[in-house]
Structure 1
């Protein structure tokens, strides 16, 4: 392995410049991508639906099977569970799926009339055939069962295996079933690498395994027209003068024992399964109709608009509530913004409307709460989770009882604060990929570490071989994982600053074992912390102690390498091995797709040449972990880890455990309750619980704005606390507010609506406008007597999620996507702006390497806005780089 030594000053100077440029461009690009993803507004309210799960029977040789889809109405971009019973156990030919497995896809269009007993679409209108078989010899497909190819030979005399598409018009090519897009685009060849969908974006499930008991289950990502414009699901369609969201289909094709010519397999030692869209296999397809929430502008044009901004924990809730609040005549826009930045903005001008936060104003270092009154209304209870997508890759030495579970999903794992600290500090041997290599001499291999990485030699390769992890998760002793930086050493995290990150770090720091580990003390089995994250300045190569009381997830280790024989001309660094995602919802979606984002393949033909991702992990061998929120984990059907709380119990995030944690929270003088992981002694309390408050400064708001925000608060703690999948309800992933918190919110709403400025000298008076108001800050006023929320439906006693159970989710609003609109230019524009900001950063004089606030925002349809370039701070390790000062002496930048 070639390495780049971070130790000398010339390299530090070069790296400082490079990182400023790269960070500016990359971060600008990331937030440009966020803008593009937020392009669609919340969907309109639709008729409520309950119990939308559907069970259908198979046909032909699969008549004894029953298939259940967990949710079929009010869908958005989310995961639904597809489960089945009565099947025959899957068989394999080597590592290839051979017989008796299930394939699932999403399709558009009307009933094609071919199966009167089970209406469904044409096979030409299904998103299928983009599996990453190219250059993936270990992929468990045979280049037909996971593609749209329906022949075995290009010879026209030997194509008679499909009654319609059994030949190719191009001599020498195999016959393929074409794909027809909703806009009429027809792709007739090269469908595996077509321009509309690919292995990174397709939602197809090529191989759903049936277990020894005849049952199986898969989580299927439903896509809207945002994620799959070629399907158009949920887009408005007008028929007979009525406009409604376009319905689509979920299609299941079971594979059995018949070849594509309709005859039994002649040779069971090799894979003969054909494409599910071949005529023979398609005859057994089962179609289930899918109903979507509308995609598009949902409130009447000309409606008044009120701005809200802040915590990502409110994303799904606000998306749902916005739709129901349209009927009030007011549009409530929502901008997702890191809580520290949202608080700073509210402190700065007070006119930014309603701000969602989990902490009081003035709680951030270097800030002070404003002197005028701030109202705080609790609106949601949620929390941070470690979501995962892990399948059992069984060792050959495992007992038969374990081998029978091969390929199935792991339902639960236990994590301690120290285990999570090991992941976040990149302390496993495989995390700085290439820092430890095996060199052979005389046929004997010996691990060798690059200079400065001797600490990694005796550390476990990853989580699955860590004795601490095995102590709490003994089943993993019989499981294996692909050894690379994107499996059990990676914990996908979001870029930027958030209260959720602070809550997680406080949980880590509250644990004495984790504190000792960060300080440099090995664990009981000898594992050491990556010194770049040590809280002991004497150990840390930077010369400064790592501070775990923070609100971000830094990539402090500067390791870079050019792998030998890669042909690369640029190094891979830690953000290539462990990339950031835009936000917690993006992390959940990547984990559902098993897309590690690891840039592991050098593309010399790209312009310019670059490291690129190779796509999703292999079926049956997935191992993905991410830091996300409860609602996003629920939305995408992720399992969630049980975390050890202060009482020593491992607790999953459920409505009960979130509520138990809130009960332990102490209220500050502001009335804001914060759950402290250090003092959470209730055995059943989930330690990463957070209460979200809507904060406002009434003196800075006009009367009309205050009344509109009070209306939102009353809805949020009234009808908005009824748990359910329908627009206007509380989505899965939230615990309903207690009576005490609802009463507090009702009082805050009344105080906001009824606030009156006290008498003051004329020179100190000011008037506000409906958009926020202006004027000086008067002393706080005594609010009027405050009733509890007005009569409204009673909140559910429990939420419809339970630590990763199959999810009935809906959030009527924006879904993470790359919509084909003008906003696709937000990414390059953001990158360019970030680059300009980086160029303007100081090179010397002790200035902090920070991208200063830029008031640049995009106004989106339906009341949403997104910051293109908010305040961003580089990781601590980069801020503390020793850069050559003028005059040739080294200095450490301040801050």
Structure 2
């Protein structure tokens, strides 16, 4: 309660600080890629930044050509590599041909301070440490800092946007550290002189010390976000005196922010969307709730729709909870992927229910896997060391193996290697003999390698921090149900879950067996579900932690994330989540995170959504569809799948028949009960629906566009929504609380064939005809048919925990004073949600409030 109240009070205070006047925000510029050339020693290099306008917290690509291949001294980067950072401030005037910021205003130098045995830096090139030299031309050294210190050893200070200056301890300062920085210390140039890295741009919400995106009001009343800089510093092959290296066994590169290295820096201006200037404070508010699958789209649409004078708030909520709140009348418009009354133990409401398609996206398996060739690798494979794999094929059975903790390395410590007389033997703890002959992880699974031969001959440690499981979100979601349905639609996957080994003898973890005779609990595991359980009760002191006194279990080895957006963000950063490092010096001793995985050694597999994967630049796996093709989530493949959708709302089956159909595509419908609304509310929601399927279906990076990761809706689906919008405005029934009745009638239900075939219809409501574009619900007391909307919707069996409770935190956001008290009341009940409405109205971008409230709730849940 106290934590909730404190967080609320903090957010309330920040509302007053961050809220900006209600002027319209300047739109971002599409097609904003920029290419710049290097200078001096690096004049032949050209660097391309994929996006420089309309930025938020997201991933962009930095690529280059014309470089010299990187060399190594042992495992440390030695020569000819690239370093990248984000900085704030005005041009420092040092390079008239390439304006850029002062080196003291860059987020850089937060490398590990302990356990650097496998770290590829020398203690200078990945820090702000410098050595003063009387001759500033000495390469990699400094002409300012350290001049008054013994031996000339010093640090380049860091200056925050608030004016605070950090002069010492910069490697682990109070503004950013190894776990939060977005700097890229080491980016490799390949044998052909090219290279590429994915860089996460950060707004003031993620990096307040930089202030990127802070609202700036111009004389004409327009508001833009404070711009920042992307700075690239190439490291070359010259020694400290400017001559070529003589001893290449030593790492000589110095800090990129040293004065001599800084002379080679290349700066690119970054334009950020304003954080805190999207909507007018005090504007009319229309609340919406619902599926995470529409969250990115709503974040974009909200900002543009403010110009109409209405703030469309959005609170991310569990799917079952959304349906329950719309059914009960607690909320007025929800975004759903299945109909009201389709959850176990629920009934659809009486009266008219209107469904309107607004977004087409999908569930994806995102990955960030970098090559680590082993001793048996070919010369071609070794030449690609440290680069990302760009493709992956997965079958339903492979996904089942990951979801069921069935790889040998998943229950960490259950199988150990014992050495005797020079011979290594695997031994299993009691009850874990099933794991002895299973592959250690996905990347060594023969089934996987047969589909993905490019992953052969890798030397990747397979443990809970890499490829033994999927990083998944906590809670009950339709996305989880859809993924399980995909697994269950496959005969081989069903047989595996039932206990039948695959062709190479791999067996399911018996705690996930759908065969009660094999399951140690005596009951069959129910795979028709909407969550990702950690069913295995294994606990142990992890191997190699002899001093540890606290056991870990499967939720420690494979922690949950709060939602699919965070899963994508963690994968991009290489954040393993597993607190695998025992700190015996802490009081009390605890398990701690070792920080993100090292560059070139990142291995992350997550369940996320297509929009979040696109936002953070994740690769996505090609999944085998019912036609036997491996398909990735593209606009074309999502659209192909949507043609098989049936029902109202239209549900896309995992067995979509088109050859190019992506099997985990999902349509999101807005759902409204018009009889519960006043005429003004119906008109306002109709405006939202019209925008969503007209201007809101234009794919782009500007505010109001459809973000990447969504496919524009086809004509039939858009027609259904426009019909539904008209039906809302012309609804003939008594509104809630005595609201006036609508007038006129809606047009006919839109479209024919496939997803555009039906929108429901028929029936009566309050003695009047049901408008076209709506669906008449069953009478009171009846139960909506399970799975009636599509062949693959499987009824959730008993034994699951109740649906996530609703969290009305959004109601507190418009008023800072009330927010603190209300947050204190609701924080203990928080459950995986993403506030976007008043948060967007006040902050512009949703990230600050979303992360603050989500993490607060996450702590209570865990």
Bucket of the pairwise TM-score, normalised by the shorter protein: 0.7 to 0.9
Distance 1:707 1:380, change over 3 A: same
Q: Which residue of structure 1 aligns with residue 510 of structure 2?
A: 531
Which residue number in structure 2 is paired with residue 749 of structure 1? 725
- The change in CA–CA distance for 1:240 and 1:605 in structure 2 (over 3 A counts) is farther
Of 699, 707, 716, the residue aligned with 1:731 is: 707
Name the structure 1 match of 2:85. Answer: 105
**Change over 3 Å in CA distance of 1:608–1:304 after alignment to 2:** farther
Aligned pairs for 1:236-255 within 5 A: 236-237=215-216, 243-255=223-235
Corresponding position of 2:98: 118
Structure 1 residue aligned with 2:653:
676
Residue 707 of structure 1 aligns to a residue in which SS?
A: helix
Distance in 2 (CA, whole Å) between partners of 1:467 and 1:781 is 63
Q: Is the 8 A contact 1:360 1:672 kept in 2?
A: yes
Q: Separation in 2 of the partners of 1:54 and 1:318? A: 28
| Pair 1:492–1:510, CA change in 2 (3 A) | same
1:184: Cα distance to partner? Answer: 0.6
CA distance in 1 between partners of 2:701 and 2:345 (Å):
41
Deviation string for 1:200-238 (max 9, x for gaps)? 110001111111111111110000000000000000235
CA distance 1:230–1:661, change in 2 (3 Å)? same
Q: Could you say if the C-alpha distance between residues 613 and 565 of structure 1 is closer, same or farther in structure 2, counting changes exceeding 3 Å?
A: closer
CA distance in 2, matches of 1:72, 1:325: 24
How much does 1:405 deviate?
1.2
Q: Kindly indicate whether residue 32 of structure 2 is the aligned counterpart of residue 56 of structure 1.
A: no
Q: Aligned-pair distance for 1:546?
A: 0.8
Relative contact order, higher structure (CA 8 A, sep 6+): 1
* 2:769 equivalent to 1:782: yes
**SS of corresponding position for 1:384:** strand
8 Å Cα contact 2:565-2:609 kept in structure 1: yes
The residue number in structure 1 matching 2:71 is 91
Give the one of 621, 641, 665 matched to 1:661: 641
Task: Provide the C-alpha distance between the structure 1 equivalents of 2:266 and 2:387, rounded to a whole number of angstroms.
Answer: 23
Alignment of 1:205-216 (within 5 A): 205-216=184-195
Distance in 2, matches of 1:566 and 1:121, equals: 48
Determine whether 1:346 maps to 2:333. no
In the TM superposition, what whole-angstrom CA distance separates every residue of 1:251-300 from its partner, at most 9, and x where no partner exists? 00011112355443342111111111111111000000011100014212
Counterparts in 2 of 1:621 and 1:25: CA distance versus 1, 3 Å: farther
Give the corresponding residue for 2:801. none
User: What is the match of residue 476 of structure 2?
Assistant: 497
Per the alignment, residue 350 of structure 2 pairs with 371
How far apart are the structure 1 equivalents of 2:19 and 2:539? 41
Report 1:455-494 matches (<5 A): 455-494=434-473
3-state secondary structure, aligned to 1:408: coil
2:429 paired residue among 450, 453, 459: 450
Residues 761-817 of structure 1: CA deviation (Å, up to 9, x unaligned): xxxx952599xxxxxx95374355789xxxxxxxxxxxxxxxxxxxxxxxxxxxxxx
Report if aligned partners of 2:311, 2:838 keep a CA contact under 8 Å in 1.
Answer: no
* Equivalence map 1:66-465=2 (5 Å): 66-132=46-112, 134-151=114-131, 161-167=141-147, 169=149, 174-237=153-216, 243-347=223-327, 349-465=328-444
Cα distance, 1:438 vs structure 2: 1.4
The alignment partner of 1:374 has SS state of: strand
Distance 1:484 1:823 in 2: 46
Matches of 1:35 and 1:549, distance apart in 2: 40
Three-state SS of the structure 1 residue aligned to 2:98 is: coil
Question: Structure 1 residues 294 and 376, CA, compared in 2 at 3 Å: closer, same or farther?
Answer: same
Q: Does 1:521 align with 2:500?
A: yes
The residue aligned with 1:508 is: 487
Q: Distance in 1 between matches of 2:550 and 2:769?
A: 63
Do the aligned partners of 1:259 and 1:274 also contact (CA within 8 Å) in 2?
A: no
> Are the aligned partners of 1:750 and 1:784 in contact in 2 as well (CA < 8 Å)?
no
Q: 1:239 Cα deviation (Å)?
A: 6.7
- Alignment partner, residue 586 of structure 1: 566
**1:603 offset after TM fit, Å?**
2.5
Offset at residue 400 of structure 1 (A): 1.0
For the residue of structure 2 that corresponds to 1:666, the secondary structure is coil
Runs of 4 or more above 6 Å deviation: 31-36, 38-43, 239-242, 821-832, 856-859, 863-872
Whole-angstrom distance in 2 between the partners of 1:51 and 1:580: 36
Cα 1:137–1:827, aligned 2, differ >3 Å: closer, same or farther? farther
What is the TM-score when the length of structure 1 is the normalising length?
A: 0.82
For structure 2, list consecutive stretches of 5 or more residues without a partner in the other structure. Answer: 742-763, 775-815
Q: Quote the Cα distance in structure 1 between the aligned partners of 2:258 and 2:175.
A: 21
SS of equivalent residue, structure 2 residue 719 = helix
| Structure 1 unaligned spans of 5+ | 1-23, 760-764, 771-776, 788-820, 838-850, 879-895
Alpha-carbon separation, structure 1, partners of 2:475 and 2:291? 12
Check the 8 A contact 2:689/2:725 in 1, yes or no: yes
Q: Deviations over 1:595-638 (max 9, x none)?
A: 11111012334454321211111211211111000000101111
Residue of structure 1 equivalent to 2:621:
641
Deviation at 1:857, TM superposition (A): 12
SS in 2 for 1:674: coil
Cα distance in 1 for partners of 2:371, 2:264 equals 30
Q: Are the aligned partners of 1:208 and 1:218 in contact in 2 as well (CA < 8 Å)?
A: yes
Shift of 1:537: 1.1
**Residue 719 of structure 1, aligned match among 684, 691, 695:** 695
- Separation in structure 2 between the aligned mates of residue 282 and residue 827 of structure 1, nearest angstrom: 50
Cα gap change, 1:609/1:372 in structure 2, threshold over 3 Å: closer, same or farther? farther
Cα distance, 1:558 vs structure 2: 1.2
| Residue of structure 1 in register with 2:716 after alignment | 740
Q: Secondary structure at the match of 1:673?
A: coil
| Contact in 2 for aligned 1:572/1:611 (Cα 8 Å) | no
Q: Is the contact between residue 755 and residue 781 of structure 1 (CA under 8 Å) also seen in structure 2?
A: no
Contact 2:129/2:156 (8 A) holds in 1: yes
Cα separation, 1, equivalents of 2:818 and 2:443: 41
In the alignment, the residues of structure 2 paired with residue 868 and residue 398 of structure 1 have an alpha-carbon distance, to the nearest angstrom, of: 44
Distance 2:283 2:329 in 1: 23
**Aligned equivalents of 1:306, 1:624: Cα separation in 2:** 39
CA contact (8 A) 1:90 1:210 kept: yes
The answer as to whether partners of 1:25 and 1:832 remain within 8 angstroms in 2 is no
Note closer, same or farther for the CA distance 1:167–1:597 as it changes in structure 2 (3 Å cut).
farther
Q: Please give the alpha-carbon distance, in whole angstroms, between the structure 2 residues aligned to 1:869 and 1:587.
A: 13
> Aligned pair 1:767/2:738, yes or no?
yes
Task: Give the whole-Å Cα distance in 2 for the aligned partners of 1:567 and 1:583.
Answer: 34
Does the C-alpha gap of structure 1 residues 785 and 510 become closer, same or farther in structure 2, counting only changes over 3 Å?
closer
Could you say what secondary structure the match of 2:216 adopts? strand
Partners of 1:766 and 1:187 in 2: CA distance: 59
Change (3 A) 1:727 1:337: same
Given the superposition, is the C-alpha separation of residues 781 and 356 from structure 1 closer, same or farther in structure 2, using an over 3 Å criterion?
farther
Residue 342 of structure 1 aligns to a residue whose secondary structure is helix
